[in-house]
């Protein structure tokens, strides 16, 4: 999933962002950590268009409801969006 999220970097596909957010909403089994890189992938996909950047800056629902590995990746994703 990580490689797939990075493959779509810079295209601005809203459906891909929605799909990746769906993967972030799933609860993980013990030992799985693929959701952190998916958050970075969301930021990289949304970087292409200004509207996507404005939408993805509001990642506070991931900070509020996400698991620990998601919450750790959100500040880095916000940094990528603000470059």
Residue-wise pLDDT tens digits, 15-70: 888 888 888 888 777 766 778 888 898 888 888 888 777 777 778 888 888 888 88
Q: What is the pLDDT of residue 31?
A: 64
Provide the whole-model pTM. 0.82
| C-alpha dist (Å) from residue 49 to 40, 45, 54, 74, 77 | 16, 9, 9, 19, 15
């Amino acid at each position: 999933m990580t490689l797939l999220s990075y493959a779509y970097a810079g295209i601005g596909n809203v459906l891909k962002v929605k799909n990746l957010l769906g993967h972030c909403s799933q609860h993980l089994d013990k030992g799985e950590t693929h959701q952190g890189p998916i958050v970075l992938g969301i930021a990289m996909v949304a970087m292409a268009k200004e509207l996507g950047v404005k939408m993805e800056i509001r990642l506070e629902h991931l900070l509020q409801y996400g698991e620990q590995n998601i919450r750790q990746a959100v500040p880095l994703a916000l940094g990528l969006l603000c470059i």
